[in-house]
Amino acid sequence: MSGRRGLALPLSIAAASALLLAALAGCSGDGVPSPRPSASASPTPLAPKTPPALTTISRTDFQKALSDVDAALGPGFGAIGGAQTPSDLSGALGAVALNLGAQADALDRLRPPLAAVTATKQLSAALRALSNDMTAVATDANNQRVCTGASGMPHVANSPGADAFRLAFLGLNTANAAHPYTFGAFLPAAGPDPNRRPGTGPLPGGRRGGYGKLTVDNQGTVDTVIKIMSGGELIRSIYVQAGAKANVDAIPNGTYEAFYTSGSDWDDGTRRFTRDCEFDKFDDPLPYTTRTTSTAIEYSVWTLTLHTSSLGGGAPTSPVDPGTFPGA
């Protein structure tokens, strides 16, 4: 029995050794399991794509683009110049301000000739600055500091944005002196605000033919125009400078309304003040009658006094919407 046990011991050790060798076969030399081979394929790197070269447009195409901007802005500037009321002026200015931003974006999208790149950036920036200036002038129109296109347009033409535009355009043609571009026909030249001021007395137009008389005493600090109206018909229009007095005669019989407007820079063409305008009317009508007696002719004489303040015991007045003020 002891002999068989002696023989069995080496067999057990041999078997264990075989098992250990089998286990070690799956390990690396330092006892860490060897990685299994991967079955996934490595991705093939894509060759980088070269973007197409950016090409500039020709001088002819660039000039056409500038002309398109001129054409897009021209009608709007025409509407500004033709505005007859503060609300019309404000609306026209606001519309052009938006369009200036759109045209600046259009310039930004261009790839101008190399000599025009810097000036084109300056032109688009100037259009945006002019847009901001127009918004400010529109605010002045809403507050009746500018009242018609006759003053609104000089405010635009004299603005910092307009000056920046002219400077940028000069830079464009300086860089292309041999072949200057044409641009900016929409923008009028800079100039002073108009300041037209007739003398005190009747203005042209109206109807004469009677004995009636009217005195207008302007005790205010601004020039004023009185309009005597019969419905939509102008009977008489009188310009009275601040601190002055006017007398008119030959007013026919009838019952009339007395409107008045004050401000600066009287435009004979539109029959309106173009700056600092106000519009009012006397609430009570003015009846003009004539009666002949055996010894005399009796007729109506009225005096309208304009004060520096609405306080006091003067005749009642009411403001009038600028759009409904008589334009005759």
Q: Which two tokens stand for residue 129?
A: 């600055």
pLDDT at 30 over 90: no
Domain spans in the chain, listed from the N-terminal domain onward: 59-175, 201-324
pLDDT at 39 over 60: no
Q: Please state, in angstroms and rounded to a whole number, the distance separating the CA atoms of residues 266 and 195.
A: 7
Q: Please state, in angstroms and rounded to a whole number, the distance separating the CA atoms of residues 207 and 205.
A: 7
Residue 14's pLDDT is what? 40
Residue 194's pLDDT is what? 92
Residue 320's pLDDT is what? 95
Q: What is the CATH number of domain 201-324?
A: 2.60.40.1120
Q: Is 36 in a helix, a strand, or coil?
A: coil
Would the pTM of this model clear 0.85, i.e. be above it?
no
Beta bridge partners of 120: none
pLDDT at 28 over 60: no
Residue 18's pLDDT is what? 39
Find out whether 213 and 289 touch, Cβ atoms under 8 Å. no
pLDDT tens figures, 162-190: 999 999 999 999 988 888 999 999 999 99
